[in-house]
């Protein structure tokens, strides 16, 4: 699927490894908005969920949540990557920082 016009990179590098962001058109019978596949260096984002379009801000927030998982996996912090509260908190902080930053 073509990348939506959001502030989400199509690819990036972590610890020297290339990662790809994939935009999945619809994932029926699922309630997840995203998934981090550390074995293959991919973050999957579901732009439609059960036929409904995911709002851009929610999709961006999901990207940052999955990015934190990717950072923790890449740094071999496997126990921390299972701490969804921590991942959600850091991902939310990163998202807010990126959306609110200003340059003089």
- Which tens digit of pLDDT belongs to each residue from 79-101? 999 999 999 999 999 999 998 98
Our count of domains for the chain comes to 1
In a domain, 16, yes or no: yes
Rounded CA gap, 25 and 48, in Å? 6
Exposed, middle or buried: residue 5 (CB in 10 Å: 0-12, 13-18, 19+)?
A: exposed
Rounded CA gap, 18 and 42, in Å? 9
Average pLDDT over residues 14-31: 84
Using a pLDDT cut of 70, give the percent of the chain over it.
89
Q: Which of 13-17, 38-42, 49-53, 87-91 has the lowest mean pLDDT?
A: 49-53
Neighbours of 71 (CB within 10 A): 19
Asked whether the predicted pLDDT for residue 8 surpasses 90, the reply is: yes
Q: Residue 37: CB partners within 8 Å, gap ≥ 6?
A: 43, 44
In a domain, 49, yes or no: yes
In a domain, 61, yes or no: yes
In a domain, 6, yes or no: no
Residue 69: give the domain boundaries: 11-100
Helix (H) or strand (E) holding 2: none
In a domain, 4, yes or no: no
In a domain, 3, yes or no: no
In a domain, 2, yes or no: no
Average pLDDT over residues 68-80: 94
Residue 85: give its domain's CATH number: 1.10.10
Rounded CA gap, 86 and 68, in Å? 9
In a domain, 87, yes or no: yes
């Amino acid at each position: 699927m073509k990348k939506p016009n959001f502030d989400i990179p199509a690819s990036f590098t972590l610890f020297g490894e290339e990662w790809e962001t994939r935009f999945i058109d619809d994932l029926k019978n699922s309630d997840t908005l995203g998934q981090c596949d550390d074995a293959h260096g991919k973050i999957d984002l579901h732009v439609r969920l059960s036929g409904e379009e995911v709002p851009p801000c929610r999709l961006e927030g999901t990207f940052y949540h999955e990015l934190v998982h990717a950072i923790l996996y890449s740094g071999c912090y496997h126990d921390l990557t299972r701490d969804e509260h921590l991942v959600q908190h850091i991902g939310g902080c990163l998202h807010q920082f990126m959306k609110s930053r200003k340059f003089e």
